[in-house]
Chains A and B, each alone.
Chain A
């Protein structure tokens, strides 16, 4: 009797279980999570705030009064231009199926990206617009390197071309299914794709454009460090959207990214301020604010994989190394990277991208290595490959683009315009009218 009843009962139970399990079991593959979606909607807004007004004010306060508007304008318009280019073509080339280097055209004009299509647990549209903010902030960062001397038209042409030649391929190679990501390189929120990328482009641009008139002889102190601090603070707060948002989910990974971001940044502020205090005699606000940005940049690739104590170490290291790059390397090498795009974004980005090769190790509190990498040695090699490729690729391509734009329309403003100030010369307005 039991021999028949038992299997029957089991079968009945199983049938019932299946009947009620229905929805969850069948749609485990892709389901919209409103928690993730809500967070990512907010994260996107936070990154927008990082650019306008964050970056705009951070940079605007550091230039001379006669060039304030030119920087604000460049950031605002570049941000807007990249937004449109991304939607029309960029998203597809970065994130659609392609090869190991670039995506395809299947999603050009956002074709097929509807309010119903999903990317993981969030709407694909949301993923696309979140990534849009990354694509738009990266060229905006470059603006700082050639501040106070580049023609507005040349800025737009150079960065518009650069988006497609440098940002999008790198984004595809690291995040969109390309070879760098396939190697198991760790770049959680864009240390390589955004910061090293922008840093190198900035360095090349600073060199190709040449130094500002009077550089080294004429005093060019920041005209409003209150703006700069305000901008830095908006960048810090907004960066939580940049870093924690790169978890593309409202979960523990995002929480780790947030904690790491806060700790690394704080450590970097302290590191730069103390380094300056000890070496130069007085700690400056510009130094502390720059330290914050260096920390934010360094933790960007590492925030999802390092442990919190590792984040503190990384931030402190980035603060000191960036301070060195800005206070010593720049002077020794002689280039006029006006707002230290390479010194802060490039150098701290390199520190972070290499540092996570070590800090990802579980023995150091990390969340583990990427891909098939078995240890620090393997991960570090992969990180170095990504960094090295970016330095070479973006360096060379940026140079070519600059020379091209120079050939057609010229890069630099005239001597008179530079002396008068770009606000009046390029934009016909003054930032301060009594």
Chain B
């Protein structure tokens, strides 16, 4: 099993969610985060004082998937989160050791 973690632009969340749903990923966790890569921040102006805001709002999606589904999941995220402009984000793939469904106690593949 793998944990797919993707940082994406916030307005892309709905599209990515639908794309993942479409390939059979039934659950995701979403966090609001801030960050930057090579995309520069922007300048804000307050009473003549300029602030460079480096940290841009992003959204992090995490989904636990069966290893067989990994390539499809990556492709789905890449396709739906892409705008072609700088700051689209990144996808990280982690090895997932164990998954447990709290309500029933099911584990691993049965818990996904």
Which A residues lie at the B interface, using CB under 8 A?
A: 219, 221-222, 276, 280-282, 284, 286-287, 290, 323, 326-328, 330-331, 340, 343
User: Mind listing 22 A-B residue pairs with CB under 8 Å?
Assistant: A219-B51, A221-B44, A221-B46, A221-B51, A276-B45, A276-B48, A280-B45, A280-B48, A280-B50, A284-B45, A284-B47, A286-B46, A286-B47, A287-B45, A323-B48, A326-B47, A327-B47, A327-B49, A328-B48, A330-B48, A331-B49, A343-B47
Give Cα A281–Cα B45 distance, bound, in whole angstroms.
10
Cα–Cα, bound, A340→B46 (Å) = 12
Residue B53 at the chain A interface, CB threshold 8 Å = yes
Q: Which of B44, B48, B52, B53 contacts A326 (CB 8 A)?
A: B48
Contact of B48 among A219, A221, A222, A331 (CB under 8 A): A331
| B46 shortest CB reach to chain A, Å | 5
Q: Is the CB of B47 within 8 A of A219?
A: no
Residue of A282, A290, A328, A331 near B45 (CB, 8 A) is A282
Interface size class of B (residues with CB under 8 A): 10 to 19
Instruction: Classify the secondary structure of A's interface with B.
Output: helix
CB distance from B59 to the nearest CB of A (A): 19
Distance of A101 Cα from B69 Cα, bound (Å): 86
Chain B residues within CB distance 8 Å of chain A: 44-53
Q: Give 8 closest A-B pairs by Cβ, nearest first.
A: A327-B48, A219-B51, A326-B47, A221-B46, A284-B45, A326-B48, A280-B45, A286-B46
Q: Give Cα A219 to B34, complex, Å.
A: 15
Taking a contact as CB atoms under 8 Å apart, the answer to whether A219 and B53 are in contact is: yes
Docked CA distance A327–B48 (Å): 4
CA distance A280 to B50 in the complex (A): 9
Beyond A221-B44, A281-B45, A290-B47, 6 additional contacts (C-beta under 8 Å) are: A222-B46, A326-B47, A327-B47, A328-B48, A340-B47, A343-B47
Residue of A221, A276, A340, A343 with most chain B CB atoms under a 10 A cut-off: A221
**C-alpha spacing A328/B49, complex, angstroms:** 9
Residues of B within 8 A of A330 (CB): 48
User: CA separation between A302 and B53, bound complex, in Å?
Assistant: 41
